[in-house]
Structure 1
C-alpha cells in the first residue's frame, strides 16, 4: 500500500506535465492510467499471489447477477435524491457523436471502475483486512472510495454504493462481482448522459 501511495503521485505529476492538453476526459484518462500503473508496480513483489491478494477470485454467476441488480437498484434510488454533482456534469456534458461516446465509455465505463475497484476494494481493502479485520477494511475502504470523489455532493451520492461494493467484497471474498457491477453501472450512467444531453 505504501508503495502505491508513493509511486502514484510521482508518476501522476510526470504524466500530467507531459499532457498535450488538459481536457476533462484526457486528464481523467491520465489519472486512472497512472493509478493502474502504480498499482501494478505495488503488487509486483507478490508475483503469482498478486491476483489473490487483490481479491481477484472466481465466483458463481448468481453472485455477479445479484451484485449487478443490487447496484442498479441502489444507483437509481440514489440518483433520485438530488441534483447531479457539478463534476459529473462537466465530464458528461457535450458527449455527442459516436467517437466521443466511445471514448467516454472507455474511460468512465471501463477504466475508471476497474481501477477504483482494484485500488479501494482490492489493494486498500486487502491491506486493512490483513492488519485489522474485514469489518475495518469494509468501513474504511468504503469511506475512502466516497472521499476520493472530492465534491461534497458527489461524496454523499456515491457513499451508499461504496458501502454496497464494500459489503459485496466482504461477503463474497471476491472483487469480481463489484468490478462487473461497477462497470455496468458506469456504462449505464454514461450512456444515459449521452442520450439525455442536449
Structure 2
C-alpha cells in the first residue's frame, strides 16, 4: 500500500484527527460584528448596576446572543458550521488533561492578571457561585463559539485550517486586552486552536475551557490569601 494512502487510513481511524471543515459564510461574521456592539451597548445601558461581574455577564451574554443571531439563517447547518459535532470521549479527556497541565505551567509564569483579581477578590457565598457561572461557564462557551466556532469556521473555509488556527488563536489572546493576560492566555489559545483543527470539533475545547476557567476562578476565589 502506498505510504500516502496508508497515512490517510491511519488519520481516518484516529479520533484526534479530523481535517474536514464546513464553510461558514463571511456574512455571518459581518452580522456578528454589527449586532454584537448594538446588543452590548443596549445591555450596558439597561443594567441596573454596573459591577465588574454584571458588566462581564452582559458582555458575554451579548456576544452569545449576537452569535446566535448571526448564524440563525444557516438553520440546521449552523451547529456543524460552528464545529459542534460529537467526537467521543477520548479527545475530550485528552483536551482536559493537556489543558490542565498547560494551565498549571502558565500560572507559574506570572502574577494573576489585574482584571481577574478585581472580579474574584473578596467574594464569597452566592457571589462566588455567580462568578463561577459567568467566568467558568458563560465566558468559555461564548469565547469558543466566537473564536473557534465562528471566526475559525470562516477563516478555514475562506483560506485553510492553518490560517484559521493561527489567526483565531491570536484574536482570542488579543481579546483579553490586558497585556499580562494576553501573554498568559496565548499558549492556551494556540492549544485550543490546535484541538479545534485536529479534531474538527468544538466539543473538546469547550469542555476543556470550562474546566480550566472553573479551576482558575475557584483557586483565585477560595485559595488566594
- The answer for unaligned runs of 5 or more in structure 2 is 1-28
> Distance in 2 between the 1:192 and 1:22 partners?
25
Question: After the TM superposition, which segments of 4 or more aligned residues of structure 1 sit over 4 Å from their partners?
Answer: none
The question of whether the paired residues in 2 share the 8 Å contact of 1:94 and 1:197 is answered with no
1:132 corresponds to: 159
2:143 corresponds to: 116
- In the TM superposition, what are the counterparts of 1:110-189 in structure 2 within 5 Å? 110-189=137-216
* 1:42-101 C-alpha deviation (Å, 9 max, x unpaired): 00010000000000000110110000000000000000001111111111111212x111
* 1:24-51 C-alpha deviation (Å, 9 max, x unpaired): 1000000000000000000001000000
Aligned with residue 51 of structure 1, among 70, 79, 104 = 79
Q: Tell me, yes or no, if structure 1 residue 100 matches structure 2 residue 130.
A: no
Aligned with residue 54 of structure 2, among 17, 26, 32 = 26
> Distance in 2 between the 1:77 and 1:165 partners?
16
Structure 1 residue 16: Cα displacement: 0.5
TM-score between the two structures when normalised by the length of structure 2: 0.86
- The answer for unaligned runs of 5 or more in structure 1 is none
1:17 corresponds to: 45
> Distance in 1 between the 2:134 and 2:153 partners?
25
> Distance in 2 between the 1:143 and 1:168 partners?
15
The question of whether the paired residues in 2 share the 8 Å contact of 1:95 and 1:193 is answered with no
> Distance in 2 between the 1:81 and 1:169 partners?
25
1:2 corresponds to: 30
TM-score between the two structures when normalised by the length of structure 1: 0.98
Aligned with residue 116 of structure 2, among 69, 75, 88 = 88
Structure 1 residue 131: Cα displacement: 0.4
> Distance in 2 between the 1:83 and 1:92 partners?
14
The question of whether the paired residues in 2 share the 8 Å contact of 1:165 and 1:178 is answered with yes
Q: Tell me, yes or no, if structure 1 residue 67 matches structure 2 residue 115.
A: no
Structure 1 residue 181: Cα displacement: 0.2
**Structure of greater Rg:** 2
Q: Which has the higher helix share?
A: 1
CA RMSD, Structure 1 to Structure 2 (Å)? 0.7
